[in-house]
Structure 1
Amino acid sequence: GADLIVGSHPHMVQDIELVDGVPVVYSLGNFIFDQYNVEGWNQLAIGVMTDGENLSLRLLPTYGRGGRPTPISDTAATAIFKSIAER
């Protein structure tokens, strides 16, 4: 079976959960979306680390504009994580 499932396409960051012990990231948002006329949006970058047995994820909230992810403030990052946690 899969050790990690990462979705894309929805134009917003969506839920993250464990399903039978497997991390499921439903959507990273518009990660590296190249539509330049969009004002901007929140998105997630994801770092995946493994030692061969254990898997850990690092979620990095970013702001996208014109196909370029850029760091966001701690306040904005907290708001993204809070939004995910409340769903």
Structure 2
Amino acid sequence: MQTTISDEEMKIIGLFKENVYGRSPDTNSFNQRHDGKDGHWLERQMGIAANANNEPDLYGYEMKNSTGSKTTFGDWSANYYIFKDKE
């Protein structure tokens, strides 16, 4: 099955390649105590005013940076999996 990429998705990919790909966030001008500074940097690079809204930012898509934790309600995944324990 072949996936078709929309024009909007291609615009997002183009912006990402031009403004984000291969770069590390420079958050020196942001409040260093703010946990969302990397996400706000990403939004600025994509031409979006930094915001904390959980609504689509760009062509119907929400811009988010990758985090090591997840915030969700109803995440029933286990904290520990015995089959992953090497001992």
TM-score range for the pair, normalised by the shorter chain length: under 0.3
Higher gyration radius (CA): 2
What is the TM-score when the length of structure 1 is the normalising length?
A: 0.21
More strand by share: 1
